[in-house]
Amino acid sequence: MIYLDNSATTPVRKEVLDTFVTVSENFIGNPNSIHQLGLKSKKLMKEATEQVASLLNVRPQEVIFTSSSSESNNLAIKGVYSFYPKRTRKIITTKLEHASVLETIRAIGDVEVLYAPLDEKGHVDLMALERLLQQEPLLVTIQHVNSETGLIQDIDRIGQLIKKYPKTFFHVDGTQSVGKLPIDLTYVDLFTFSAHKFFGLKGIACLIKKDSVGLSPLISGGHSQSNYRAGTPSVALIASLAKALRLALEEQNQTYQHVLALNQYLRTSLSTLPQITINSNEEDSPFILNISIIGKKPETMIHQLEAHDIYVSTNTACSSTDPFSSTLVALSKSKEVAKSSLRISFSKNNTEEDLKTLIKILREEIL
Amino acid sequence: MERVILIKYGELTTKKGNRSFFVKTLVRNIEQKLKDYDVEIEQDLARMLIHFKEEQKTEILTAVQTVFGIHAYHVAYQVPSSLEIIKEKVLETAKQEKFTTFKVEVKRNDKSFPVKSMDLAPLLGGLLLKNITGIQVDVHSPDVKIEVEITPKHTYIYYQAYQGLGGYPVGTQGKALLMLSGGIDSPVAGFMAMKRGIPIEAVYFEAIPHTSLEAREKVITLCKKLANYTDEIKLHIVPFTKLQEAIYQNVNPNYMITIMRRMMYRIMDNLCQVYHGYAIINGESIGQVASQTLESMQVINEVTKLPVIRPVACLDKLEIIALAKKIDTYETSILPYEDCCTVFVPKHPVIHPTLEKCLSEEAKFDYPPLLQETIEQVFTLKITANNEKTYQDLL
């Protein structure tokens, strides 16, 4: 099997699954119970939380565990707007955001959305952003790495700009960057990421919420792991996330170099094929290479590749029923390009051999 | 160009006779703190230098920030003490900084250096003005102060001063025992005692099942936070249940807290003898609760001859809270678990207790054997700051 859909999800790694199983079997107490068994679970949860906090350079009470990045995005956006009813109802975002951001904003209803202008490559135009910031929106929400093309936004510089406006918070969706690129949360107030993108389990994610931000919970009813999300915490999932994050960060450098080499190899090889347009910029995240083969339907190509046990995606898995990629349209490419795009996304487990096979099948059967 | 961390000693400078002892203790503490890093430490009586690996800089600076006895520190460029090289390097490093107004300050510890401080500062300033456009000198409130410190071998150039914790290095005073409850005040008291150079061991009174294991965990967490400012803190846990129940059964409710505190002080006195503590330290603050009025303190204090140091005695609660936040113990302290002092609280604890009444209350029950039994059951945990995890293997 050649799995090149790692931005949709990654397979769980054995060490992480082992932790999940061991904790599920041996830590049976509810961390809210005050007897020994509860205390044991609580202690593990506390250590796991501290580990996550220290890996991301935040404080333990700033870590909120959720079920998915989508939930984290919902909690960040809805939570802030509900906590500050008297501040402006404006929000800045981009047209490239994930559905769990754009649809959440729509769901709030009474907010005025200001789309940050982008330069020709898709980066947020900082001068234009600064002008929008003068309207003092309550929140700016921008993804770190785009899930379709790998476009990287400069969250450091954006964050520094936003810091000049004390009534504006900065939310970053880091789902496609944690475990892949260096993360610095100095200027970030709220930060989303999910374990299954770096060989953790599905069903566990995080929202980092700095102490300076107020937030209303989406799920009320207690404060066992955090005041911002009620429900009996899954200690096994939480421990598994802490471990997956540690391993990913320990290997991050090696993984990055490995994936960068793969990306460059594929990019170079495909650029000799005239039918192929490469949509990702050279400086985008090497974990994603987005290409288009004009005139071909992505669904057909995916199934053709699947017949050879090769797995890639159209646009993001979460919106693959949409007719074409709105991100690619927004990135001022043509609808033709957007309609025929494939996303190839790498991980540490891929090899150059995988890519040779992919290129061979593309040439022989698709082009 | 090599960068070094240049440490200036704090109040140490006033300790003429003991200076080398203070410096040695500080070096030992810093070495202990940085034992996991690739560093080399040099020192004389005026300053200390830490040679470090650039990639470990952040961690090392964070660690330096937790050592008592450091007044200020700088990340300095170390260059050979030659006029030409100094000129070249000041210009080179200044070009990397962003500023519009500046001031050059020269300290010439090496009086054999050919140019006097008074002459070198304008020389360097002029050099910068000539080579960097758009900058000017401001001696009163410059954007950056460029400091040049010349010693016989090396010259140090630095742009920013970081403030250290101050105080004396832990270990320059005798040991004392800290009464550590789970509250806000006692960790702050411990921190303040350590700041004066006192190594502390903590004592925690627990009354299981009236207090929970969570309360003990909380105290362990507080100990870890305090251990961050030293190396390791021993935590003596006193199983106080039997004694506390006996007090509850025998003593007039109004006097329960006073007698309980007297028993605790007796135990502290005993533990100080066993563990060689020269003083008892606690978080009492005058007037905060009934047992902390001056009258209460007097009758409670009566059971020991040891000095009882109360670092927060004269601070307002808000001042104590601000300190607790600064040393990161506040969030832990406000976790809602019962401790010994909050179980069995009488409705009207006595505010003006008398010694006669205390003695007559204590005469109602045979407490010495209970005291003895309690002391025999004390057990000790060693707490270190590095978050040694119980479940490391799972994470």
From B213, B387, B391, residue closest to A44, measured CB to CB: B391
Question: How far is A183 from B264, CA to CA, in rounded Å?
Answer: 49
Q: At A119, which amino acid appears?
A: D
Whole-number pLDDT of residue B335: 83
How many helices (DSSP H) and strands (DSSP E) are in chain B? 13, 15
- CATH number for the A2-9+251-366 domain, one of 3.20.20.70, 3.10.20.90, 3.40.50.1370, 3.90.1150.10? 3.90.1150.10
Class in CATH terms, B1-81:
alpha beta
Condensed to tens digits (0 to 9), the pLDDT of residues B306-363 reads 999 999 999 999 999 999 999 999 988 988 777 766 777 788 889 999 999 999 999 9
- Selected catalytic residue, list A113, A181, A278, A318: A318
- CATH number for the A14-250 domain, one of 3.40.640.10, 3.40.50.170, 3.30.365.10, 3.40.47.10? 3.40.640.10
From A34, A42, A242, residue closest to B395, measured CB to CB: A242
Q: Count Cα neighbours of B104 within 13 Å in the Cβ-side half-sphere.
A: 27
- CA dist B317 → A108, A118, B261, B312, B313 (Å): 42, 51, 21, 9, 10
Whole-number pLDDT of residue A333: 64
Give A144-196 as a DSSP string: SB-TTT-PBP-HHHHHHHHHT-TT-EEEEE-TTTTTTS----TT-SEEEEEGG
Question: How far is A200 from A172, CA to CA, in rounded Å?
Answer: 20
Question: How far is B312 from B288, CA to CA, in rounded Å?
Answer: 11
Whole-number pLDDT of residue A317: 45
Q: At B8, which amino acid appears?
A: K
Whole-number pLDDT of residue B12: 63
CATH 3.30.2130.30 assigned to domain B82-150? The reply is: yes
State mean pLDDT over B84-101.
91
Q: Per-residue pLDDT for B104 more than 70?
A: yes
Q: Per-residue pLDDT for B58 more than 90?
A: no
Query: Among all residues of chain A, which has the CA nearest to that of B212?
Result: A34
Condensed to tens digits (0 to 9), the pLDDT of residues A293-307 reads 888 888 889 999 999
Q: Which CATH architecture has domain B176-394?
A: 3-Layer(aba) Sandwich (3.40)
State mean pLDDT over B87-111.
90
Q: How many CB atoms lie within 10 A of CB B142?
A: 18
Whole-number pLDDT of residue B262: 97
CATH topology match: B82-150 vs B176-394? no
Question: How far is B278 from B307, CA to CA, in rounded Å?
Answer: 8
Whole-number pLDDT of residue B288: 87
Condensed to tens digits (0 to 9), the pLDDT of residues A64-76 reads 999 999 999 999 9
* Chain B residues whose beta carbon lies within 8 Å of the beta carbon of residue A186: none
In angstroms, the first-to-last Cα distance of chain A is: 22
Assess A16–B contact: CB distance below 8 Å, yes or no: no
Domain ranges of chain A: 2-9+251-366, 14-250
Residue A65, φ and ψ in degrees, nearest 5: -90, 135
Question: How far is B98 from B91, CA to CA, in rounded Å?
Answer: 13
Q: Which residues contact B56 (CB under 8 A, 6 or more apart)?
A: B37, B38, B39
- The residue with greater pLDDT, B278 or A226, is B278
Assess A21–B contact: CB distance below 8 Å, yes or no: no
Whole-number pLDDT of residue A318: 47
Question: How far is B123 from B55, CA to CA, in rounded Å?
Answer: 34
Query: Among all residues of chain B, which has the CA nearest to that of A31?
Result: B214
Domain ranges of chain B: 1-81, 82-150, 176-394
Mean pLDDT by 10 residues, chain A (367 residues): 96 97 96 88 93 93 96 97 94 94 93 94 94 96 96 96 95 97 95 98 98 93 83 96 96 94 96 91 95 87 93 67 67 74 95 95 87
Q: Which residues contact B153 (CB under 8 A, 6 or more apart)?
A: B80, B81
- A305 with A259: CB under 8 angstroms? no
Whole-number pLDDT of residue B341: 66
- Which residues of chain B are at the A interface, by a Cβ-Cβ cutoff of 8 Å? 212-214, 217, 331, 387, 389-392, 394-395
Q: B43 in helix, strand or coil?
A: strand
Q: Per-residue pLDDT for B230 more than 50?
A: yes
Whole-number pLDDT of residue A50: 92
> How far away is chain B from the Cα of A165, in angstroms, using its nearest Cα?
23
State mean pLDDT over B145-172.
92
State mean pLDDT over B128-152.
92
Question: How far is B279 from B268, CA to CA, in rounded Å?
Answer: 9
- A90 with A112: CB under 8 angstroms? yes
Question: How far is A98 from A105, CA to CA, in rounded Å?
Answer: 11
Q: pLDDT averaged over chain B? A: 91
Residue B363, both tokens:
């005469």
pTM, entire model: 0.70
Give B100-139 as a DSSP string: SEEEEEEEES-TTSSS-HHHHHHHHHHHHHHHSTT-EE-S
Question: How far is B95 from B275, CA to CA, in rounded Å?
Answer: 57
